[in-house]
Amino acid sequence: MIRKVTTLAAFLVAAPALAALLVNGAGATFPFPLYSKWFSAYNKLNPEMQFNYQSIGSGGGIQQITAGTVDFGASDAPMSDAELLKAPDLLHIPTAMGAVVVTWNLPSVKALKLTPDVLADVFLGQVTKWNDARIAKENPGVTLPDQSIAVVHRSDGSGTTAIFTDYLAKVSPAWKTAVGAGKSVKWPAGLGAKGNEGVTGQIKQIPGAIGYVELVYAQENKLPSAALKNRAGKFVEPTIASTSAAAVGAQIPADMRVSLTDAPGAEAYPIASLTYLLVHKNQTDAAKGKALVEFLWWAIHDGQKLAAPLYYAPLPAPVVTRDEALVKSITVEGKPVSLGRG
Amino acid sequence: MAAANSSTSESIPVTPAAPGGRRAFSGDRVYAGALAAAGIAILLVALLIAATTANTARPALARAGLWGFITGRDWNPVEDIYGALPFIWGTLVTSVVAIVLAVPVAVAFAIFLVEFAPSRSRSLLRFVMELLASIPSVVYGLWGLFVLVPLLREHVEPALGRFSFLPLFRGAPLGVGTLAAGVLLAIMILPTIASVSVEVLRTVPSTLREGALALGATRWEAVRIAALPYGRAGIFGAALLGLGRALGETMAATMVIGNSPEISASLFAPGYSLPSIIANEFSEATSALHIGALAALGLILFVVALILNIAARLLVRAVVGKFERSSS
């Protein structure tokens, strides 16, 4: 505390105009509400540190941190090997988890269970009626109407689509060959709508529609969400707990670049993912580097408590432990940062 | 350059006239130079935009060839295969629907306002029309999504479905699609066309109108034989301005067009327009080929707008020529 006061005093004496330490970041839009909460909460604790975060999308975040125009990047999908080659000292620090929820519009159907192959075939346009025998088989007791299924998907390139199609490509060989996975794909069926709100708007309007949105958005708007059969063979509802569970049993490599879809574990929801902050392992600016490391430490500990109220899934304990090691490995001007508080 | 030259050559005989002439002369030169610089700057900016867009587009155009890209019907970012035809089609169809719906209404509005409306209600009507123009396009998009689309799905499209012998009105009435985008664009370009048409009709000399009335024409006949032929070229210009807005409109079209890169003869089917795909995919496009393909679409939009502008201008010139010939 005393040291903090003296550094602050030194700052004030030396250069009053530079009293604020501005850290720039750019990237993913999905975690933006959580990050802006973090930035304002952290700024209250450390008034000298200010954040400027541009939510320009994961692709833009990767480009900007690679080009060195920002101090940290943010991405929903891990960087590819080719991207990492251009900036080999970037660390992927998982900060929170998200999930993709399948939602629908059938007033008579309050709960829905779907198996991976049926879900893939619906989005391939091969299962076209709600009362299809394959849907009915998993939903005994539910009256499914003789109605056409209208598929709604995202039209804008998005991490949500990347995670959803990554899952479908894992569970359905037909999807993998016909469509594949990516932020924008060639959809075999349905309508495209912009953003979570666009997809939700279309689904609410078209009777018999089915689509996918982020867990955060589905929970905020109280949308119905389908229980999906996970790899362990259990039907799991998308919740904050079942999303966090997806990262518990998964094999996560040392660099944390992993796809958590179709994760093992009886409680794991199958369309979950990590979202990352991207920071350089070797920080060259002494003041900024130290401040950034301290912020990351705070984010993976105290910051996690702010996640659930905003419907983000907090990191499970094993991932936090891995994160701690990563954050400690960051060096500022060649030296590690001592992290007293935790 | 030409502007600067002509102004100096005109200024020279003036120079020796008055004692203050010399100062006026240099002022003229500065003024002409500044104007020329401003004019050249606009040209340069346009050229720079075209050049940088073309440069970004190069990888995609090199892969498929210009003609292959334009006629390609497949758009698959996962496989890095890009073709522009569905987007060109969607842009043209929605713009044509918008113009066909908007021009008659806008011209009728202008005629009513200028020729028939009681003078007290005129300013109110104009105010409301101009209010339409100031609504942000995203608000139009939301209105389209939540009001227009259900209306089309439940009432208009089932009714039009009776004419399904025309391929235009076939398929399931989804609400979302090229028809919805066309109707929404029509509403959005209505104020542009209407307010320019009002200005045009106001320039019609009252002697023409009075002459027609004096010959025994009714008020409608006076409009038809005197006012409309006089203002025809201007009204074409108004439609051209509206078309320009319809071609480039992004947000509102994206929200109701269905965003599906398919070519269908039916207006009920979902489509995709050039600005929409750029807005949708650019922020998350990472491969050089994907970014290049989107830039190439931008270039096509640029060229399509240019061609339409030139065509409309030629049309206006032909109409004006015909009018001048017939009136002489």
- Among the partner-chain residues A59, A182, A191, the one whose CB lies closest to the CB of B174 is A191
CATH number, domain at A10?
A: 3.40.190.10
Total domains, chain A: 2
Residue A328 tokens, joined: 């400690």
Residue A262 domain-assigned (yes or no) = yes
Of B74, B254, B261, which is closest to A194 when you measure between CB atoms? B254
The pair of three-digit structure tokens given for residue A299, joined into one six-digit string: 């984010």
Looking at the domain assignment, is residue B110 inside a domain?
A: yes
For residue A342, being part of any structural domain is answered with: no
Is residue A65 situated within a structural domain? yes
Q: Are residues A223 and A321 in the same domain?
A: no
- A125 shares its domain with A138: yes
Statement to judge: residues A157 and A236 lie in one domain: yes
Which has the minimum average pLDDT: A36-45, A248-257, B167-176, B303-312?
B303-312
> Which of A224, A242, A272 is the C-terminal boundary of a domain?
A272
Q: What is the pLDDT of residue B14?
A: 47
Residues A193 and A109 in one domain: yes
Domain residues for the domain of A182 are 99-272
Residues A188 and A331 in one domain: no
pLDDT attached to residue B203: 85
Q: Quote the strand ranges of chain A, DSSP E.
A: 21-27, 49-54, 72-75, 90-104, 113-114, 150-154, 191-193, 209-214, 227-229, 235-236, 272-280, 282-283, 331-332, 335-336
**Contact (CB, 8 A) for B291 and B56:** yes
Residues A27 and A73 in one domain: yes
Judged by DSSP in three states, B71 sits in helix
Q: How far, in Å, are A49, B67, B72, B75, B264 from residue B60 at the CA level?
A: 44, 12, 12, 12, 25
Instruction: Give domain status of residue A341, yes or no.
Output: no
Residue from the list B75, B172, B284 with its beta carbon closest to the beta carbon of A183: B284
Please choose, from the candidates B247, B241, B121, the residue with its C-alpha nearest in 3D space to the C-alpha of residue B191: B241
Beta carbons of B133 and B189 less than 8 angstroms apart? no
**Residues A331, A281 share a domain:** yes
Q: Based on the structure, what is the number of domains in chain B?
A: 1
Which two tokens mark A125? 């346009």
B56 in a domain, yes or no? no
Name the minimum distance, in Å, from the CA of B287 to any CA of chain A. Answer: 10
Which chain A residues are within 8 Å of B153, Cβ to Cβ? 205-206
Q: Is residue A89 part of a domain?
A: yes
Sign of the CA dihedral with A86 first, then A91, A93, and A97 last: positive
| Mean pLDDT, each 10-residue run in order, chain B (328 residues) | 43 48 71 93 93 93 91 90 93 93 95 89 88 90 91 90 86 87 95 89 87 91 89 86 88 90 90 93 85 94 83 69 59
Q: Judge whether A195 and A212 are in contact, CB under 8 Å.
A: no
pLDDT digits (tens, 9 = 90+) for A194-210: 888 889 988 988 889 99
Q: Which residues contact A192 (CB under 8 A, 6 or more apart)?
A: A152, A153, A154, A155, B258, B259, B260, B270, B272, B280
Question: Is pLDDT above 90 for A335?
Answer: no
Q: What is the pLDDT of residue B120?
A: 86
Per-residue pLDDT band at A308 (split at 50, 70, 90): very high
The CA distance from A28 to B6, in Å, is 56
Domain membership of residue B84 (yes or no) is yes
pLDDT, position B230: 85
Condensed to tens digits (0 to 9), the pLDDT of residues B12-62 reads 444 444 454 455 568 888 999 999 999 999 999 989 999 999 999 999 999
Q: Are residues A84 and A105 in the same domain?
A: no
A160 neighbourhood in chain B, CB within 8 Å? none
CA distance A334 to B302: 51
* A199 in any annotated domain: yes
At residue A133, the pLDDT reads: 95
- Record the tokens describing residue B221, joined without a space: 């006949």
- Asked if A156's CB is within 8 angstroms of B176's CB, the reply is no
- Which residue of A54, A58, A191 is the best one to mutate when testing the B interface, meaning the one whose CB has the most B CBs within 10 A? A191
pLDDT score, position B310: 79
To probe the interface with B, which of A166, A194, A204 has the most B CB atoms within 10 Å? A194
Residue B78 forms part of a structural domain: yes
Instruction: Say if residue A300 is in the same domain as residue A237.
Output: no
Please report which confidence band the pLDDT of residue A17 belongs to, taking 50, 70 and 90 as the band edges.
very low
Verify whether the Cβ–Cβ distance A158 to B258 is below 8 Å. no
User: Residue A251's pLDDT is what?
Assistant: 87
The pLDDT of residue A167 is above 90:
yes
| Averaged pLDDT, A321-341 | 86
pLDDT at res. B151 = 93
Structural domain includes residue B27: no
Q: What is the mean pLDDT of residues A130-143?
A: 94
Whether residues A246 and A313 fall in one domain: no
- Which residues of A touch chain B, with CB atoms under 8 Å apart? 56-60, 62-63, 83, 148, 150, 155-159, 179-187, 190-194, 198, 201-202, 205-206
Quote the domain boundaries for residue B236.
67-327
Q: Chain A contacts of B174, Cβ < 8 Å? A: 150, 191, 206
| Lowest-confidence segment of A233-247, A328-342, B105-119 by average pLDDT | A328-342
Do the beta carbons of residue A195 and residue B138 sit within 8 Å?
no
- Do residues A339 and A328 lie in contact, with contact meaning Cβ atoms separated by under 8 Å? yes
| Average pLDDT of the segment spanning A40-63 | 90
Backbone angles phi, psi at B323, to 5 degrees: -65, -45
Task: Name the β-bridge partners of B238.
Answer: none
- CA A260 vs. chain centroid, Å, equals 11
Would you say residue A94 lies in a domain? yes
**CB contact (8 A) between residue A186 and residue B78:** yes
**Residues A240, A197, B245: CA angle, nearest 5 degrees:** 155
Structural domain ending residue among the three candidates A240, A272, A304? A272
Q: Which residues of A touch B79 (CB under 8 A)?
A: 180, 186
Please give, rounded to a whole number of angstroms, the shortest distance from the CA of A101 to a CA of chain B.
21
Q: What is the pLDDT of residue B309?
A: 76
Angle between helices B288-327 and B85-111 (to 10 degrees): 40
Alpha-carbon gap: A321 to the closest alpha carbon of chain B (Å): 31
A108 in the same domain as A211? yes
Cross-chain Cβ contact A148/B280 below 8 Å:
no
DSSP category for residue A264: -
Distance in angstroms (rounded) separating the CA atoms of residues A28 and A60: 8
State the pLDDT confidence band at A77, using cuts at 50, 70 and 90: confident
- What is each CA distance from A191 to A19, A82, A160, A181, A284, in whole angstroms? 51, 33, 16, 18, 48
Residue B243, min C-alpha distance to chain A (Å)? 24
Which of B75, B284, B290 is facing A186, going by the closest CB pair?
A: B75
Q: Are residues A163 and A260 in the same domain?
A: yes
Residue A12 has pLDDT above 90, yes or no: no
- CATH assignment of the domain containing B288: 1.10.3720.10
Distance from CA of B305 to the nearest CA of A (A): 24
pLDDT of residue A340: 58
- pTM here? 0.81
